[in-house]
């Protein structure tokens, strides 16, 4: 018998969680590129926002850089899942580089929307987080000044479009569903003629992960979201947990970041993972709980996902 009895704890495991189809595809693209062309393969920006994933690919020969001018002409380069401004592939073509675009097809869809509205003569309002690579990539599909960025409901009052009757909106794919609905409503109130998607451009994975957090938030004493500080969708899960009633909602990259003293006395916790966090890190967190508690895992599944994206043709050919 052990020296002490572990306290009981129910661990609600949110589902869906973790890798989405776009992240899965982006990682596969880097792995297949390394197989096809050998190391080094350059990757512009973290392929997905997760240190564990990036470190693993670096070990296999991927070289991560922030800008194309850090890459040599004669090695392949991959663009990250978040998307890139148009100037980036244009420059790669000019330098006659081999490049593979790992932009998630659901981000590319927003790029196409933006182009379509622009071609129709509309100026764009993008709802998104300033400086996030997806926002830089999407805004970079159109000439400067054609996309106005808003992050909050308050920002809506501050923009000055060229012609308020000729506007369209687009969004980042990894936003909070609820916050975005409020911003869209503010845009529609100020600019009644604004056109846009039926709701927003938030992707299925973001929507599903937020819904599964909401389903457990009111029965847990603490929520742990496994993800990186620069992962937009992971940070939104923390906020959704808090807004849905779990005051102690924390982002952790790995099990060693859990503050055990802060959750002393907890009887139930929730665990989920952002779209760029691998399941092996979820298991690591569950194991860390098992070391300290007599854990009962209860998986709460609010949706089934069966989305899969093909890798680009160049990698499917021998």
Q: Which residues bind ligand SF4 (CB under 6 A)?
A: 20-23, 81, 104, 106-107, 173-174, 203, 205-206, 233, 275
Sheet with 249-252: list strands edge to edge: 249-252, 222-226, 268-273, 8-15, 294-301
Is 134 one of the catalytic residues? yes
Residue with smaller CB distance to ligand SF4, 123 or 173: 173
User: SS in 3 state form for 240-292?
Assistant: HHHHCCCCCEEEECCHHHCCCHHHCCCCEEEEEECCCCCHHHHHHHHHHHHHH
Q: Which residue is nearest to ligand SF4 (CB)?
A: 22
Q: At closest approach, how far in Å is the CB of 248 from ligand SF4?
A: 25
Residue with smaller CB distance to ligand SF4, 123 or 174: 174
Q: At closest approach, how far in Å is the CB of 39 from ligand SF4?
A: 25
Residue 160 annotated as part of some ligand binding site: no
- Looking at residue 116, the DSSP 8-state letter turns out to be H
In angstroms, rounded to a whole number, what is the distance separating the alpha carbons of residues 271 and 249? 10
Q: At closest approach, how far in Å is the CB of 30 from ligand SF4?
A: 14
- The token pair at 181 is 């609905």
Residue with smaller CB distance to ligand SF4, 174 or 176: 174
Residue 232 annotated as part of some ligand binding site: yes
Residue 71 annotated as part of some ligand binding site: no
Is the separation of the CB atoms in 262 and 292 below 8 Å? no
Q: At closest approach, how far in Å is the CB of 252 from ligand SF4?
A: 19
Residue with smaller CB distance to ligand SF4, 209 or 263: 209
Q: At closest approach, how far in Å is the CB of 247 from ligand SF4?
A: 26
Residue 173 annotated as part of some ligand binding site: yes
Residue with smaller CB distance to ligand SF4, 246 or 275: 275
The catalytic residue among 66, 134, 264, 291 is 134
Is the separation of the CB atoms in 269 and 298 below 8 Å? no
In angstroms, rounded to a whole number, what is the distance separating the alpha carbons of residues 295 and 32? 39
Residue 246 annotated as part of some ligand binding site: no
Residue 118 annotated as part of some ligand binding site: no
Count the neighbouring beta carbons within 10 Å of the beta carbon of residue 157. Answer: 9
In angstroms, rounded to a whole number, what is the distance separating the alpha carbons of residues 186 and 189? 5
In angstroms, rounded to a whole number, what is the distance separating the alpha carbons of residues 295 and 96? 56
Binding-site residue numbers are 20, 49, 82, 104, 132, 173, 203, 231-233, 276
User: Which active-site residues does the annotation give?
Assistant: 134
């Amino acid at each position: 018998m052990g020296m002490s009895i572990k306290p009981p704890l129910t661990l609600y495991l949110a589902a869906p969680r973790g890798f989405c189809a776009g992240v899965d595809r982006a990682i596969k693209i880097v792995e297949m590129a390394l197989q096809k062309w050998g190391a080094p393969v350059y990757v512009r920006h973290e392929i997905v926002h997760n240190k564990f994933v990036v470190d693993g690919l670096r070990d296999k020969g991927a070289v991560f850089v922030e800008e194309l001018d850090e890459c040599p002409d004669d090695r392949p380069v991959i663009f990250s899942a978040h998307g890139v401004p148009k100037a980036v592939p244009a420059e790669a073509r000019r330098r006659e580089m081999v490049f593979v675009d790992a932009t998630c097809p659901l981000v590319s869809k927003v790029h196409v929307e933006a182009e379509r509205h622009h071609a129709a003569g509309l100026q764009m309002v993008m709802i998104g987080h300033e400086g996030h690579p997806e926002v830089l990539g999407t805004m970079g599909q159109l000439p400067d000044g054609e996309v106005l960025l808003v992050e909050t409901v308050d920002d809506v009052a501050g923009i000055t479009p060229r012609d308020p009757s000729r506007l369209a909106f687009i969004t980042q794919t990894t936003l909070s569903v609820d916050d975005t609905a409020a911003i869209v409503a503010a845009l529609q109130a100020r600019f009644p003629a604004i056109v846009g998607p039926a709701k927003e451009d938030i992707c299925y994975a973001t929507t599903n992960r937020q819904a599964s957090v909401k389903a457990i938030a009111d029965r847990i004493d603490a929520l742990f979201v496994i993800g990186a500080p620069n992962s937009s969708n992971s940070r939104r899960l923390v906020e959704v947990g808090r807004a849905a009633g779990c005051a102690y909602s924390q982002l952790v990259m790995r099990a060693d970041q859990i503050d055990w003293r802060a959750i002393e006395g907890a009887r139930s916790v929730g665990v989920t993972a952002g779209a760029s966090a691998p399941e092996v890190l979820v298991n690591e967190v569950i194991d860390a709980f098992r070391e300290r508690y007599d854990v009962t895992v209860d998986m709460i599944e609010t949706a089934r996902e069966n989305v899969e994206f093909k890798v680009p043709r160049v990698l499917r050919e021998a």
